[in-house]
Each structure stands twice: as structure tokens, then as C-alpha cells.
Amino acid sequence: MHLPGLSTLVRGTGPALLLVHGAGGSVQANYGPVLGTLTRHFTVVAPDLPGSGRSPLAAGPLDLERLADDVVAAAVSAGHDSFHLAGYSMGCAVAATIAVRHPERVGAMVLSAPFTRVDAETRARIAEWRSLLDGPRGVLGRFVLSVMCSEGYLARLTPEQADGFAELVAATVPAGTTGHIDLILEIDLAGLLPRVTRPTLVIGATRDRLLSPHLAREVADLVPGSKYADLACGHAISLEAAAPWADLITGYLTSV
């Protein structure tokens, strides 16, 4: 199903679960391998952010609060006035903003590979990612693969598999990626996260090579009463750890 505004996938049965994907991704790219599990437990409502999937580009720079409100509007348009929340990477900032701006709509929340604000090391990697968007797509694809996947995962790929993945990444860069990255570099949730009142699980990726792994722990420390779990994988959680990730999300949300 595609709804007015943000192009939105609606699938499954049960309580509503609003998914928010990450920068330079899409619902299918970031959540595709876990959708089957999630839709057995929840009615998944999953909008593609501006410039991803079939969603139109934003008219100007992205604003975190406006983006959060637009994602909520997608859920309401789908007939769900209340929902659980799951955010991934930059989508965690959107999800946390929803939880603070619209707490009456939110049941519980799962934040996977989140950050409060990017540290200097992460900022440098993300700035390189942005700079490569205007260059040869092959170079971009290899860079994105190198930071999205753990060293161990990449070591298990044959050269042909690695080249194939890099080509796929290069061929599927969303038009809105530049705007997504610019928003990442502006995000600072230090004042917002302590205001989250909804039950929250934070999931870290201990072998993340895009975001410094300690950033997820920092988020858990700032959200009152949150729980923390981690997965031994890189930033592309759905690629390296789909089954345990789906189990953590469904286990937590069905228990609160």
C-alpha cells in the first residue's frame, strides 16, 4: 500500500509498529530481511523518508521535527493513531523525536544503532561518504560497503561477491541521500533523550564501522529507564544479524 505524502508500506496484522529507516537507505534496504518476522507480530507501517523509495525529495533542507511529524502523519493516514516505534541509525533520531513530541501515540520504542550526536571520528567518515556522492559510483559503492559491514563479514565474501554488493549499493543510492547526511551532521539529541518517557530498548552494533560503537551506549545512558542489548555485527544489522535483530525487536515490544 502506498499512501499520500511519504510512500508507505503497510503490511501484517496485530498492533501497529512504525518503522523509521536510516540515511541513504529505505524500508526495503534497511528492514527487508526482518519484515517477514515483524509482520507476523505487528501491522508494520513503514514510510520511506524524503528522496528514498517512491517518496518525493524534500523541497529544502530536512528538519528533524518536521520529519518526525510527517512520519507520524503517514501512520495516522494508514489508520493507526497509536503505535510502537522502531528506528534504525538516523531513523532513531526521528523515532526519539516522535516519542517526545507525540508521547500519547507511542507504546514502546526500539532504537537500533542510534547516536546522540556524531563524534569526530564518525563525522569524518560521514563527510567522506557525502563527498563521494558526486564522484564515480563504483568508488562510492566500495566505500559504503566498507563502512556498513563488519571486517569479519567482509572477509567472508569472495571478491566477486564484494564487487556485486558494491555495484548494488552504487546502483541504488537514494536521491535524498545528501539531505539525509546533512541532517545527520546537525543532529544533537542531548537535550531530547532525557525527555523520553516511553519504554525503550537500545540495540548497539559492536562491530559498527560507520558509527562509533560507543554512541549507542551513550543513547541508552541518556534515555530514562531504557534497556540495552547489543549484536556482534556491523552497521548493516539486517544484512549480518537479521534473525537475532528481529527476535530482539519482537521480544521486547511484545513484552511491554
C-alpha torsion 227→231→235→237, nearest 10: -100
Q: What is the pLDDT of residue 5?
A: 83
Q: What is the DSSP letter of 103?
A: G
Q: Which of 77, 88, 80 is nearest to 216 (CA)?
A: 88
Q: Going residue by residue through the chain, which has 256 residues, state the pLDDT in tens, using 9 for 90 and above.
A: 434 489 999 999 999 999 999 999 999 999 999 999 999 999 999 999 999 999 999 999 999 999 999 999 999 999 999 999 999 999 999 999 999 999 999 999 999 999 999 999 999 999 999 999 999 999 999 999 999 999 999 999 999 999 999 999 999 999 999 999 999 999 999 999 999 999 999 999 999 999 999 999 999 999 999 999 999 999 999 999 999 999 999 999 999 9
Closest to 174 measured CA to CA, from 25, 62, 7, 28? 25
Q: With the C-alpha atoms ordered 125, 123, 215, 30, is the resulting torsion angle positive or negative?
A: negative
Cα–Cα dist 205/141, whole Å? 21
Nearest to 147 by CA among 116, 168, 124: 124
pTM of the model: 0.96
Q: Which is nearest to 94 in space by CA: 67, 62, 55, 74?
A: 67
Residues 162 and 138 sit within 8 Å (Cβ to Cβ): no
Which cell numbers in the block locate residue 8? 508507505
